[in-house]
Structure formats: structure tokens, C-alpha cells
Structure 1
Amino acid sequence: MPLIANTPEPPYYAVIFTSLRTEGDKGYDAMSRKMVALAAEQPGFLGFESAREGVGITVSYWSDLESIQRWKANAEHQVAQQMGHQVWYSSFKTRIAKVERDYGATT
């Protein structure tokens, strides 16, 4: 069952990654699981949410911009990024936004 990230009081940052996949797995699922586990170990990581129905959307939450920069520069993450560019994605876009307000309900 998908989970909604339990984020702290704002402000914090969201990295929004949208993508269209190429055909076939080609190691994608294994690398995806590895990157989720590795991201969770990074300082400043707050959580993530992901969905795919045609367009994939993954939002990761971070305490600050420096944590996002360190994650982008992580050597293992760079390998995954390169594979994404060359093998897994026909197109993608990354957006970084500052979350200034959030609200909702849990059941």
C-alpha cells in the first residue's frame, strides 16, 4: 500500500521527478529499490511518494537545498542517473520547490 510521507512543519523542499519510461525493466526495479534505501540514509532526507500510470511521478522531501545537492552528487545515485539518461527514460524532468505550507488529514 502506498504511503504518504510524514513531513515536518514547513519550510522544507520537494524534488519532483516526472518521467516516461522506455520498454522493459533492464534493471530498473532493483535500482529503484536500492536508491530509495540509499536516499533514506542521507542527511536531510524526509521521505518520498511515488506513483506511475503512464507518467511516473516521484516526490522526495528534503530539509534543505544542501541535502538535495549532496544527494544529486552521491556516487551511487550518479550511476542511477546515468542509467536513467541512457536506458530507462525516454524523457524526464526534475523540479525543486520550497514547501511553505502543507495541510491535510489522515485516516
Structure 2
Amino acid sequence: MLAVIFEVTPKEQGKALYFEMAQALKSTLNEVDGFISVERFQSLSNQDRFLSLSFWQNETALMQWKEHFEHQIAQKRGKEELFSHFRIRVGNVIRDYGSENQVTK
């Protein structure tokens, strides 16, 4: 399983459009075989910074999303018009556990 951490600080004039585009793309994510989930969070220390955390079954699924036509258009527009800063990190999930899947004795 892969995790994608996408940090973004939208420009003030681009914030509304960024959220509209993200919402529109969310429905297409479910069409990608291997997509697991995505959530967005707002920074507590910088109200203008947001983090999108998505999970993918494998790199094939992630590449399928990266190469998705509508996603590429949104990425280009974000980089050129909407973002003052962005950063993307991708990593393997080496452990996945919590209270809902602990073994009780």
C-alpha cells in the first residue's frame, strides 16, 4: 500500500477554484482500480495550508491516477495559477494498525 501526502498553500484568489476542482476530481478517483481513500486536512499552525492524504493499493494504481487526463489538467492549472506552494511525498505503508484491528487477549 502507498500513501501520498500532498501539501498545498493555494493563492488567496485561487482557493475557491482549487476546492471546486478537487471536489470534481474526487468522483473520478473511485473509477481508478486500486484507489483506497482520500481525506483533506487544514493546518493548525497555518490556516492557508492544506494536506491531502490518499492511499493506493499499488504503484500501478497511483500511476494510473497520475496519468489521468483530467487530473493532469488540474495539476497544470494548480502549478501555473492556483498554488503559491505545493509538495508531494509518496511512501510505502510498512505498518497499518489501530484500535479497530488490534487482537484482544
How far apart in 2 are the matches of 1:55 and 1:28? 12
Compare the two structures and name the one with the higher helix fraction: 2
1:33 to 8, 13, 23: 23
Mapped partners of 1:43, 1:23: distance in 2: 34
The structure 1 segments of at least 4 consecutive aligned residues displaced by more than 6 Å after TM superposition are none
Q: Does 1:61 align with 2:55?
A: yes
* Deviation per residue, 1:36-58 (Å, 9 max, x gap): 11112211100012112332100
**Amino acid of the residue matched to residue 83 of structure 1?**
R
User: How far did 1:79 drift?
Assistant: 0.6
Whole-angstrom distance in 2 between the partners of 1:81 and 1:70: 14
Which residue of the partner structure matches residue 7 of structure 2? 18
RMSD over aligned CA atoms reads 1.4
Query: TM-score with structure 1 length normalisation?
Result: 0.81
Residue deviations 1:23-48, cap 9 Å, x none?
12352222111111111221110001
Structure 1 gaps, min length 5 = 1-11
Count of residues in correspondence between the two structures: 95
Of 67-76 and 25-34, deviating more is 25-34
Aligned counterparts of 1:54 and 1:27: Cα–Cα separation in 2: 14
Sequence identity, in percent? Answer: 31
The reply on whether 1:83 has 2:77 as its aligned counterpart is yes
